[in-house]
Amino acid sequence: MLGRVAVFPPLPGDARRVLEDIAVVVEGSGGRERLLEAVRGARVLIAGFVKVDREVLEASGGSLELVVTRSSGYDHIDVEAAEDLGICVANQPEAIAFSVAEHALGMAIVQAKRVLEGHYLVAGGEWSGFPTHLRGFLLRGATVGIVGLGRIGSLLAFYSRMMGASRILYWSRRRKPELELLLLLEPASLERLFSESRVVFIALPLTRDTEGLIKLDYLRLLPEGAVLVNVGRGRVVEDGAIETLLEERKDVRVALDVYWEEPLPRDSRLLDYAGQALLSPHFAGYSGLSSRMTSVLAARQARFYLEKGEVWNPVTRSTCREAKDIPGLWDWVPR
């Protein structure tokens, strides 16, 4: 055996089997005390959406070398503390990206076609004649803007191109020339992207650089009738900016899976804009298959680390050795 792996919460069976022949797997669920107990003596922690702060990292007694999150986002992990303690942090975004991108595209279509408002019209018994006031627009021929061109943003660019978008603008922390050529994308400033895009997708992770990056002033640039979709993180948008936008611009529609505060408080101003705002509970990445795939791949990355001392999705590059030869990931994916 190559060490102890703490898993919190437990893995599905096919993911657990990836590790059981090489590691002592200790699974736990419940509250914080159970998490601290599970981590003690572990070389690796495979974490779901649980808060992994310095106390948790230190609970191993100095044995912890790697934290793998079963998600694309990693803002629930104290990355700075991990780096300070010499612990590698890796994420697992591959499978989740497909689910999030499909969810984002579906929400955009629902809002562009005014489906949600049509539902309320019918369900409320107010349908009388053709609802000309709910005429929407097509993604075909529209300009689409994508903020963040990682895995999710890249898939959204591909899906938008297949839907017939006339132009696709993108803003990213670094240029993506290969995708510009492949999908005919145009790099753009945030000012240009928001002012010219009929549909805007936000797919940014939350980091020190992206928190509050999308200001209210950018949102106010949206063209008449635009749709704004955020499946990145709520805190990449300035606090209160979306609520103010909805109050000022009755023509704009939004679709959100992420929020500044989660779960969304019952007194949130967003709840005052039913129809204009389509809200889902931060579950875009959690189709049944994508969850299983992500768990299997997270377990595979933990196994690869135990065997090779490397990971292929390093978050803390100063404390991780990045794999140069990545194993065949899809051989480990449940069909």
Catalytic residues: 233, 262, 282
The whole-angstrom separation of Cα 21 and Cα 81 is 31
The whole-angstrom separation of Cα 137 and Cα 299 is 43
The one-character DSSP state at 151 is: H
Q: Which residues contact 46 (CB under 8 A, 6 or more apart)?
A: 5, 6, 7, 8, 11, 68, 70, 298, 299, 302
Which residue is associated with the tokens 């959100």? 256
Helices (H), 163-201: 177-183, 190-196
Q: Cis (ω within 30 of 0) for the bond into 9?
A: yes
- CA neighbours closer than 13 Å in the CB half-sphere of residue 168: 28
Which residue is associated with the tokens 């579950």? 283
Looking only at the bridges linking them, the beta strands covering 24-27 and 44-47 are unpaired
